[in-house]
């Protein structure tokens, strides 16, 4: 393939221009990035707050992160995904926000609002939060595009926060039994009960009516019925004052359990989780 | 330094390579390290360790390529070498990978550069295309004359053909 020499000059000009452009981009933009002209400030523990959404009856987990863009291009397509996860890996809540933009030369703060829908969190997770000290992890995943999408920025952080369960110090055996019952209640229908579950049910059959109210507002009521055909009903109400707002969380459940014909049987009859404002 | 075909001691191309691939980056890194003492020096020192030698090779190759007339195979080979070394220089500048991980306080964020590198590879290919076209267009203009008087050393003297 041959070209006229005059035409080749234009190719040369284009090649040199593109080379200069790329070299300038490399020097200016990448050095801007490595000197934190672009930066993501993720929240610290003090940046977390709680609020109540009285209309939707939701508890809101609020935090924020800031994007600093001191570069010369907009940061576009910022997607934020956040999850609250227990230390044993179970996801409590999720949050997603997409297609945000931070213009060049500006800082922008984004609010992260994770709603805790009281009806969506499994009973065992609620109970676990009341009974077991745990670490709650906020998994923060931020994706963004810079330089017209040529550079993709990702932030993957796991922020750990200690959760002190209000009932963790109270009567370990009783609460442990109650928690075990709640856990096996949550099993799938197809789950086959083994010796461990049988032992839990046997222990549950021995629980008597129980009432506890602490000075700081925590309360547990357990009412049990007589055993009929190997099955008894157990109703439990738990009240937990919410530290961050005026109100309390009421968790209640009613379960039938027993060993009819020596076969383990557990059935959740009713469950309710509600926020009560003062 | 050898004079090129135009009689200058240093070609524009070599000066360009010297400025863009050596002087400006080294100056920028020096300014960054002095302006942002919180940044780890190790990464920048590693960058310098690789891309300073590559920059020097780039300057030498660009100067050597200009010694030969357009259409000469040796000029073509030097030009292609220049493009390849430019890509190696870029890899060194990016820290040896397609992802740069930044740490600020205890948090990390990553810059994924594969699209950007793709653009650069595209420009490098375009430059290579130019050098191929230049070689094909001018190669008939170059007359290779074997100096039989010094046949022992097989010196090949390229000359620009008339017209």
Domain ranges of chain B: 12-160
User: So what's the pLDDT on residue B61?
Assistant: 93
Per-residue pLDDT band at B163 (split at 50, 70, 90): very low
Residue A257: pLDDT over 50: yes
Q: Which residue of B has its CA nearest to A20?
A: B20
User: So what's the pLDDT on residue B79?
Assistant: 92
- Burial class, B45, CB count within 10 angstroms (exposed 0-12 / middle 13-18 / buried 19+): exposed
Inter-chain touch B110–A157, beta carbons under 8 Å: no
* pLDDT, tens digit (0-9, with 9 covering 90-100), for A17-50: 888 888 777 777 767 776 777 777 777 766 777 7
Inter-chain touch B126–A26, beta carbons under 8 Å: no
Section B112-119 average pLDDT: 86
Give the other-Cβ count within 10 Å of B44's Cβ. Answer: 17
Inter-chain touch A5–B109, beta carbons under 8 Å: no
Residue B57: pLDDT over 90: yes
Higher pLDDT, B148 or B55: B55
User: So what's the pLDDT on residue A172?
Assistant: 60
Best of B16, B130, B140 to disrupt the A interface (most A CBs within 10 Å) is B130
For residue A168, give the 3-state DSSP assignment. Answer: coil
What's the mean pLDDT when you consider all of chain A? Answer: 80
Inter-chain touch B133–A156, beta carbons under 8 Å: no
Three-state SS letters, chain B: CCCCCCCCCCCHHHHHHHHHHHHHHHHHHHHHHHHCCCCCHHHHHHHHHHHHHHHHHHHHHHHHHCCCCCCCHHHHHHHHHHHHHHHHHHHHHCCCCCEEEEEECCEEEEEECHHHHHHHHHHHHHHHHHHHHHHHHHHHHEEEEECHHHCCCCCEEEEECCC
């Amino acid at each position: 393939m041959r070209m006229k020499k005059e035409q080749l000059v234009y190719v040369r000009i284009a090649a040199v221009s593109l080379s200069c452009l790329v070299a300038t981009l490399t020097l200016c933009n990448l050095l801007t990035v490595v000197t934190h002209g672009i930066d993501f400030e993720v929240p610290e523990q003090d940046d977390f707050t709680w609020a109540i959404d009285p209309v939707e009856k939701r508890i809101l987990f609020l935090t924020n992160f800031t994007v600093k863009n001191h570069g010369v291009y907009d940061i576009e397509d910022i997607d934020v995904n956040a999850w609250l996860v227990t230390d044993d890996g179970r996801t409590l809540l999720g949050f997603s926000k997409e297609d945000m933009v931070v213009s060049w030369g500006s800082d922008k703060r984004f609010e992260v609002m994770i709603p805790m829908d009281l009806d969506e969190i499994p009973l065992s997770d609620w109970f676990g939060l009341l009974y077991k000290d745990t670490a709650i992890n906020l998994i923060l995943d931020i994706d963004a595009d810079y330089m017209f999408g040529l550079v993709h920025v990702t932030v993957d952080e796991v922020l750990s926060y200690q959760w002190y369960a209000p009932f963790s110090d109270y009567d370990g055996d009783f609460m442990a039994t109650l928690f075990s019952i709640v856990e096996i209640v949550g099993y799938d229908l197809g789950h086959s009960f083994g010796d461990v579950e049988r032992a839990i049910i046997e222990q549950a059959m021995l629980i008597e009516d129980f009432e506890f109210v602490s000075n700081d507002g925590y309360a547990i009521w357990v009412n049990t019925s007589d055993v009929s055909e190997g099955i008894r009903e157990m109703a439990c109400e738990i009240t937990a004052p919410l530290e961050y707002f005026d109100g309390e969380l009421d968790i209640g459940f009613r379960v039938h359990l027993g060993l009819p014909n020596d076969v383990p049987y557990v059935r959740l009859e009713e469950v309710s989780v509600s926020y009560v404002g003062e | 330094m050898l004079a090129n075909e135009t009689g200058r001691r240093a070609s524009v191309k070599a000066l360009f390579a010297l400025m863009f691939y050596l002087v400006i980056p080294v100056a920028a890194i020096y300014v960054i390290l002095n302006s942002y003492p919180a940044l780890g020096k190790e990464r920048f020192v590693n960058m310098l360790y690789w891309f300073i030698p590559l920059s020097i090779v780039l300057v030498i190759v660009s100067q050597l390529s200009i010694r030969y007339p357009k259409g000469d195979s040796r000029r073509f080979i030097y030009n292609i070498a220049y493009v390849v070394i430019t890509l190696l220089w870029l890899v060194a500048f990016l820290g040896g990978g397609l992802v740069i991980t930044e740490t600020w306080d205890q948090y990390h964020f990553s810059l994924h550069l594969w699209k950007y590198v793709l653009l650069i590879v595209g420009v490098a290919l375009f430059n290579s295309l130019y050098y191929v076209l230049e070689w094909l267009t001018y190669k008939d203009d170059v007359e290779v004359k074997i100096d039989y008087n010094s046949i022992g050393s097989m010196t090949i003297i390229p000359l620009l053909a008339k017209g």
